[in-house]
Amino acid sequence: MGSFEASQQADLKSISLFGLLEGNLEAANDLVSACKEKGFFYLDFRDASTCKMLTQVDDLITVGREVFKLSLEEKEQYSTEKHLPSRLQGCIHNNGLWGDDTLELPLALEENLPLIKTWMSEVHGYTECILSILSKALNLPYNLKDCHRKDVPSSANMAMLNYLPWGSTDEKVGNMAHTDMGTLTVVFTKNDGLQVFEPETEQWYYIKPRSGHAVVNVGDSLRFLSNGALASNLHRVVPPANPEGLDKFSCIYFLRPEFDAKFTSRDGKVMNSVEWHNQKYALFREASLDAKKHGAMLTGRNGYLGATTETV
């Protein structure tokens, strides 16, 4: 389907985070089936024990919008790229989630570092619970959370993404179709735009934001670490046309394996996590790509680079 349109809403399971934390069997079974079948699910944070996360997200989005209001010239002063190779491509990484390097941050972020650190740590803890449940259900000889330790270097990170409103046919608005490179992606947003491709019907479906929930999806690394049992599915962001000209803002946690974690990639090559990250991240930055050569890594499909003008 080579257009921007998604005619129907994706039918995703809603899974209680509280249920997972409490060891509820039904919640665990729903988690496993969601990760095997579609690779996407809603994670319900509305229980009194977990709903604080939702308030934190609201606060973070307010902070993020302040940063995006800065001029391009000022924002470029804080690019992590200028610190390479001490920083992995696009990520802060040394010594676990928080590096040894001094961070250069806009004032809005500097003043809210305690909130950011707390939020990242708590989301990471919730993803560890998810990984433990999946490990047990799949009878893996190891616990997946053991290669996602907070105090060990990885490219796990938090991102605040601001997408321009659609309102035109400009293909540069939004995000091309891709599979995520990491383990789990936890997305908090109140705006439409996320779409998932379902191979069974060969159609795009939109994922409506749901109050009190995050959208979670399986990434390539988790597919590899699960020996192909879990689904890393193709998705994209296409901000819908709207009369108000609203943008799309998302607060996201990208869980990724430790740098030294090893797995077998889609093409049968044994590599470690940092090699996979660097190779795939580099493709996102290329202006011109060879579909036959790079399609499988970007989208999981040979010959397909993810442009909305292409047929999946």
Could you tell me the pTM of the whole model? 0.87
Alpha helices in 157-272 (DSSP H): 220-225
- Distance, in Å, from the CA atom of 71 to the CA atom of 49, rounded to the nearest integer, reads 39
- How much is the average pLDDT of 179-188? 96
> pLDDT confidence of 163, banded at 50, 70, 90?
confident
* pLDDT tens digits along 91-113: 444 445 555 556 678 899 989 99
Whether 126 has a pLDDT exceeding 80, the answer reads yes
| pLDDT of res. 176 | 75
The answer to whether 58 and 50 are in contact (CB under 8 A) is: no
Would you say the C-alpha torsion 198, 201, 205, 207 has a positive or negative sign? negative
Residue found under tokens 């159609």: 203
No. of helices (H) and no. of strands (E), the chain = 9, 13
271 pairs with which residues across the strands? 263
* b/e code 265-275 from CB counts within 10 Å (16+ = b): beeeeebebbe
Separation of alpha carbons 155 and 254, rounded Å: 8
Strand partners, 204: 197
Question: Are the C-beta atoms of 31 and 3 separated by less than 8 Å?
Answer: no
Q: What's the half-sphere exposure (Cβ side, CA atoms, 13 Å) at 134?
A: 28
How far is the CA of 85 from the CAs of 80, 94, 130, in angstroms? 10, 11, 32
224-281: per-residue pLDDT in tens? 999 999 999 999 888 666 655 567 889 999 999 999 999 998 888 899 999 998 888 7
59 vs 299, higher pLDDT: 59
At residue 45, the 3 state secondary structure works out as coil
